[in-house]
Structure 1
């Protein structure tokens, strides 16, 4: 009887963890550049003295969905969306390099180009500083140019070029802060083939309908495991009655 209890319990536990993953995806359905997390169930045989007829359920994270999300036009000069594959390099809170697809940028009070969450956007030489009272333009290769504001346009000056990278997907892992980092901890090299579209942002690639259907399916599976535990309890009670009669 205890074998049935532990088998059903392991399945219910992993379903709860996968529900948390789906809930996180649904919570980020409107987050710019978000990449959906993918989980899957796998069966692990139970090694014991008896016959190998039982398995436990394990929820394993297989990675992230790297498909591009739809582009939305904003017309804002500091909004950029990466076209096709590629990542925008930013400085994480611990000073290391992280990668994001969220290209809604801003200039802070110190003139440093940042993401909306306050992370510094990187160039080959480090953070990018924007002078005050200028008009910005961002080229397809990530080059940031400026023109002095005024009635007479000044000479276009190239300030910096955003670091655009495209490391292999199998070498990327999602960090605790939501940014992607390389598994080996090394900074990715600049990829000249990565381009951006100014005045656009990339939406999340989470399909809200699929996520909701998956959530309903997981809820039904969890209910099935709970019913198995109730049946095990009922069988144990009946067995106790028979033993008491004997």
Structure 2
């Protein structure tokens, strides 16, 4: 089972680490001065007990920082593998800035560090979103284009079908009109045929009338 991941202690610059180490050593030195006042030390002779305690305290501080280094990050980068080398008598700058050869550094501000971390997270999220858009946008655009093209083709097909249906209706109406005209012609033809059939006896009637007329002329001449 993996060990739980803990968030690293964030520092802005190596000067912050130097400041912390120097501050702790100065504080330890002040405690030693309180417990072993220099005025109580033998004249022209080193206080052996104080020297031994100071050595143990410095070793403890060094060991503590050595163990803490893997849990530090400086400006988003893993901390150094070794802590800054300072003599036990070094004192930190008591002003609001720590000065080194490269310039001035403000003290570590947790709020600014948190804000910077938030900005880094937002930058990573935006970078991820842009990468996803670059990956997905072409496919989405192609799918949208195909859907639009299919819709236009479907609309054109429906419009063409409607036009054909309208043309078919007109053809049907034309055929129906032609059938109606044919029926009229057939009825007229039938009436004509019937009329001709009715005239079949006209010739005989005319002949009879002619014969009757001649007979009447003969009778009148007698």
TM-score by length of 1: 0.28
TM-score by length of 2: 0.30
Select the structure of larger CA radius of gyration: 2
Name whichever structure is richer in strand by fraction.
Answer: 1
Name whichever structure is richer in helix by fraction.
Answer: 2
Q: Which fold has the larger relative contact order, with Cα–Cα distance below 8 Å and residues 6 or more apart in sequence?
A: 1
